Amino acid sequence: MKTHQEIINLLEDALELDTNSLTMDSVLADIPEYDSMAKLSIIVLSDEEFEKKLSGEQMRAFATVGDIVRFFAAG
Amino acid sequence: MDELANKNILITGASRGIGFDLAELLDQKGCNLLLHAGSDLGIQRLKEVFGGSDRHCFWQADFSKPDMLAVTLQETLQFFGPLAGYVNCVGLRVRRPLNLLNVATATEAFVTNVVSHLEVVRIITRKGLFAKGLSIVGISSIASHIGSPGVSIYAATKAAMESANRCLSKELFTKGIRINSIIAGQVNTEAYKELMQSKDSQVDLVLDRQYMGLIEPRGVAAMCVFLLSEQSQYINGSSLPVDGGYLV
């Protein structure tokens, strides 16, 4: 089980952002790196690291980094 | 009687998509089918649909482990008889950006989509294991001809299969064997529906370019039938598009 901070670091790594540049409150729409390839990275991470199928619909519902982190952290 | 009736045809990746529709089409034409799937579920589905006929056989094999193919395929062919056709519909569709393209994923895709195909071709083209006029068809993709983000390894494997087939056409023609590839456009399969489900955007940009719209699996299966038949006797080493206009 990963902590919220570990998941945030995983996202930073996938999006090639500096460590500790994201917080739970970061708004996805304000992150220039959050493009279609970044979204694809999140789908792959979801499948691989958390064994969760992430649908397009769920993807579109994410507004903040916290939304993604909580989705991954939920059992 | 159909030209392909009573011919022995191997379809790999037959449990869904293009392979499945091709199996239905060739069954109607009276072919004897050797139907391959990788998973238990795939084999189960094939047996449910095609198991009623004693003309058909089944072969379960994991294409990510090419070392294991020779023994089971040779055994199966001894029972099934020499092949007049082989259509490879296996295609592990990897979609991931470069930063998540680890060695294990890239290797698995290459082994599954290229190395195993070559291994099957090697086995079935040995003396005594093929019938006169064996025709081999590999299903490739428009991805290997036009670049798109996120599919580098998938595109590379399909391009690799196509170019291997091109070379093999010149090696195998002395045995009277032909080998070609089909460049399939975006096809309306279960895998496609799953892909669209998982995509962030519901707009499929491929279809902007593929101006004739989504291709039904039958459209690709029909090209397989043509390439398996003697009507295509002068076509060898080619990559023929069934692309709904995508490459134009």
Least confident of B39-43, B105-109, B155-159, B206-210: B206-210
Q: Domain B8-240, what fold?
A: Rossmann fold (3.40.50)
Q: Confidence class of residue B17 from pLDDT cuts 50, 70 and 90?
A: very high
Q: Confidence class of residue B192 from pLDDT cuts 50, 70 and 90?
A: confident
Q: Confidence class of residue B202 from pLDDT cuts 50, 70 and 90?
A: low
Cα distance between residue B201 and residue B197, in whole Å:
9
CB contact under 8 A, B150 and A56: no
Q: Side-chain half-sphere of B96: how many Cα atoms within 13 Å? A: 23
* Residue pair B137/B87 in contact by the 8 Å Cβ criterion: yes
Hey, which residues does B177 pair with through a beta bridge?
none
Instruction: Kindly report the nearest CA distance between residue B185 and chain A, in angstroms.
Output: 21
Cα distance between residue B134 and residue B230, in whole Å:
10
Hey, which residues does B183 pair with through a beta bridge?
B140, B241
Which tokens go with B237? 């080493």
User: Can you give the residue ranges of every domain in chain A?
Assistant: 4-73
Stated as kind and residue range, the H or E segment containing B35 is: strand B32-37
Chain A residues whose beta carbon lies within 8 Å of the beta carbon of residue B96: 40-41, 44
* Residue pair B178/B171 in contact by the 8 Å Cβ criterion: no
* In the predicted structure, residue B174 carries a pLDDT above the cut 80: yes
Q: Is B96 on the interface with A (CB under 8 A)?
A: yes
Write down the pLDDT at residue B163.
Answer: 98
Q: Which residues of A5-30 are buried (b: 16+ CB within 10 A; e: fewer)?
A: eebbbbbbebbebeeeebeeebebee
Q: Domain A4-73, what fold?
A: 1.10.1200
Cα distance between residue A8 and residue A20, in whole Å:
8
Name every residue whose Cβ is closer than 8 Å to that of residue A30 and which is 6 or more positions away in sequence. none
Q: Is B28 on the interface with A (CB under 8 A)?
A: no
User: Can you give the residue ranges of every domain in chain B?
Assistant: 8-240
CB contact under 8 A, B201 and A53: no
Write down the pLDDT at residue B167.
Answer: 98
Instruction: Kindly report the nearest CA distance between residue B198 and chain A, in angstroms.
Output: 4
* Residue pair B119/B71 in contact by the 8 Å Cβ criterion: no
Q: Is B198 on the interface with A (CB under 8 A)?
A: yes
Q: What is the rounded average pLDDT for all residues in chain B?
A: 95
What percentage of chain B carries pLDDT values higher than 70?
99
* In the predicted structure, residue A75 carries a pLDDT above the cut 70: no
Q: What single letter denotes the amino acid at residue B31?
A: C
Name every residue whose Cβ is closer than 8 Å to that of residue B147 and which is 6 or more positions away in sequence. B155
Q: What is the rounded average pLDDT for all residues in chain A?
A: 92
* In the predicted structure, residue B201 carries a pLDDT above the cut 80: no
Q: Which of B143, B218, B137, B146 is nearest to B179 (CA)?
A: B137
- Is the torsion defined by CA of B14, B232, B93, B106 positive or negative? positive
Which tokens go with B106? 């890239």
Stated as kind and residue range, the H or E segment containing B241 is: strand B239-242
In eight-state DSSP terms, residue B123 is: H
* In the predicted structure, residue B200 carries a pLDDT above the cut 80: no
Q: Is A52 on the interface with B (CB under 8 A)?
A: no
Q: Is B150 on the interface with A (CB under 8 A)?
A: yes
Write down the pLDDT at residue B243.
Answer: 97
Which tokens go with B109? 């895709």
User: Which is higher by pLDDT, A37 or B134?
Assistant: B134
* Residue pair A48/A72 in contact by the 8 Å Cβ criterion: no
Write down the pLDDT at residue B70.
Answer: 97
Write down the pLDDT at residue B60.
Answer: 98
CA B232 → CA B43, B133, B239, distances in Å? 31, 11, 13
A and B: number of Cβ contacts within 8 A: 42
User: Which is higher by pLDDT, B77 or B204?
Assistant: B77
* In the predicted structure, residue B135 carries a pLDDT above the cut 80: yes
Q: Which of B96, B99, B200 sits opposite A16 (nearest CB)?
A: B99
Chain A residues whose beta carbon lies within 8 Å of the beta carbon of residue B199: 56
* In the predicted structure, residue A44 carries a pLDDT above the cut 70: yes
Cα distance between residue B8 and residue B25, in whole Å:
14
Q: pLDDT tens digits for A10-33?
A: 999 989 999 999 999 999 999 999
* In the predicted structure, residue B195 carries a pLDDT above the cut 90: no
Chain A residues whose beta carbon lies within 8 Å of the beta carbon of residue B150: 36-37, 40
Chosen for mutation from B152, B198, B202, B205 (greatest number of chain A CBs closer than 10 Å) is B198
Mean pLDDT of B194-221: 86
